[in-house]
Chain A
Amino acid sequence: MKKIISLFLGMITLSMLLLSGCGEAPKAESTDPASAPDIKAIKDRGTLKIGVKLDVPKFGFKNPTTGQVEGMEIDLSKALAKKILGDENKIDVQGVTAKTRGPLLDNGEVDLVIATFTITDERKQSYNFSDPYFTDGVGLLVKKSSGIQSLQDLNGKKIGVAQSATSKKAIQDAADKAGIKISFLEFGTYPEIKAALDSGRVDCFSVDGAILFGYLDDSTVILNDRYDPQKYGVASKKSNVALAKIVNDTINEMKQSGELDKLIQKWGLK
């Protein structure tokens, strides 16, 4: 028994020594972004891990016929991979939801989140955001049979929103302005909100207009009004400063060269 214990302790000490050797961070913080630890980690891995939406047509959407994830945000991911790794196919996309994208960035499961992520001041405190690459607004999806035509008709009704989305605040502000009373039910994922709308648990499904198009069917209609401009940015973990800089520079280059506009046109987004 004693032998086993001492052997065990010996192994622990040895592994500690080994680990402490590996764990030393590079002392000299170089100014060249290409050699920053966060960029180096991506280069060593050889792929850029990106969190994208799978249920937002034209942005990040898993095409049911081909099984491929496609959309403007996927093309943007490719452009970033080309910039960082020199090959646009070196991306590893992973589906995220409004609720999971923050934690996935924090624990390093993904390097970047490009998933209709609205830039807000509060969120900037937790993550780095690039300059906006697209602006959308919060929309309202209602059942045709409900006869709801505008925000006014939603007085006293229940609105289904996604957790961690900006829709709740936007619609609440609009409702306050219009002087109507509404209540919110929050759900973890969009399909759950849609199910709640179908069963009549909520009277309206509210999220960014672009996202609503993924849930439009024969029985529902999207109202024309949009509330609170939602600016989408590329998010990265707060500590990955160099990565955030590269991303932001790339987005701005794409804006100037007209490449971003081409992407927006390619996907038929306004």
Chain B
Amino acid sequence: MLRDWPVFAEGFGMTILLSALALLLALALGVFFGVLGAAEGKKVRLCSRIYVEFIQNTPLVIQIFFLFNGLPHLGIMLPVFTVGVLGVGVYHGAYVAEAIRAGIQAVPRGQLESATSQGMSYWSAMQHVVLPQAKRIALPTLTNQAVSLIKNTSVLAMVAGGDLMYHADSWSSNNLYYGPAYVVTGLLYLSLCMPLARYARRLERKLEVSL
């Protein structure tokens, strides 16, 4: 097992890279749709709702499977790495959007009203007054989302994605030595997620969101 460490290292690196890119995508989508979800216009809000409901209420596995095996039938062949970033990113984007929307709506309405009465436009009031306060409320949730996202990259094992879980599966099934392989894999995931989760806890205390 120790002899074959490069196999696990490759998977570990892949999982980290995948998580980082998917997280960026999730944040970008989340901020965009989160702000839309808290906006004034009904139609705009509906756009955000459709995305969030659709993604949150279907399993990630099905979404990944569709990207991997469904799209090629329509003539779109995405490389498996792209499938991973897109699938996991879009999935968590929906959750991030909800966190951000909740954060914005938790900021008292008077803040936005007084900012616009100072002559700020809606967007600059958002940017300078509302979002900085919303960020404080949403941050701990976002960190937890990052933890979930890292764990969820393991679904790529199902579509030969080359991530840590795939290599663990592959290696252990070749050697029929699955016990230690999965224990080590679990510890590797733990080493990624645990510090993040601790950090989230610290943030919550610091920002006095919870005691």
Q: How far is the CB of B37 from chain A (nearest CB, A)?
A: 34
Alpha-carbon gap, A263 to B188, bound state (A): 49
With A186-B169, A188-B169 known as contacts, the answer to whether A102 contacts B68 (CB < 8 A) is no
Total number of residue pairs linking A and B with CB closer than 8 Å: 56
By beta carbon, the residue of chain A nearest B176 is A126
With A163-B170, A199-B70 known as contacts, the answer to whether A103 contacts B160 (CB < 8 A) is no
By beta carbon, the residue of chain B nearest A200 is B72
The stretch of A18-26, A190-198, A249-257 in contact with B is A190-198
List A contacts of B3 (CB < 8 A): none
List B contacts of A126 (CB < 8 A): 176
Alpha-carbon gap, A250 to B16, bound state (A): 52
Decide if A199 touches B178 in the complex (CB within 8 Å): no
Decide if A201 touches B68 in the complex (CB within 8 Å): yes
List B contacts of A187 (CB < 8 A): 158-160
Interface string of B167-211 (1 = CB under 8 A from A): 001100111101000000000000000000000000000000000
Q: How far is the CB of A188 from chain B (nearest CB, A)?
A: 6
List A contacts of B170 (CB < 8 A): 163, 186
Decide if A186 touches B160 in the complex (CB within 8 Å): yes
Asked if A32 CB lies within 8 Å of chain B CBs, one says no
- 23 A-B pairs (CB sep. < 8 Å): A99-B169, A99-B173, A102-B176, A102-B178, A122-B175, A122-B176, A125-B176, A126-B176, A163-B169, A164-B174, A168-B174, A186-B170, A186-B173, A187-B160, A196-B69, A196-B159, A198-B69, A199-B71, A199-B72, A200-B72, A200-B77, A201-B69, A201-B72
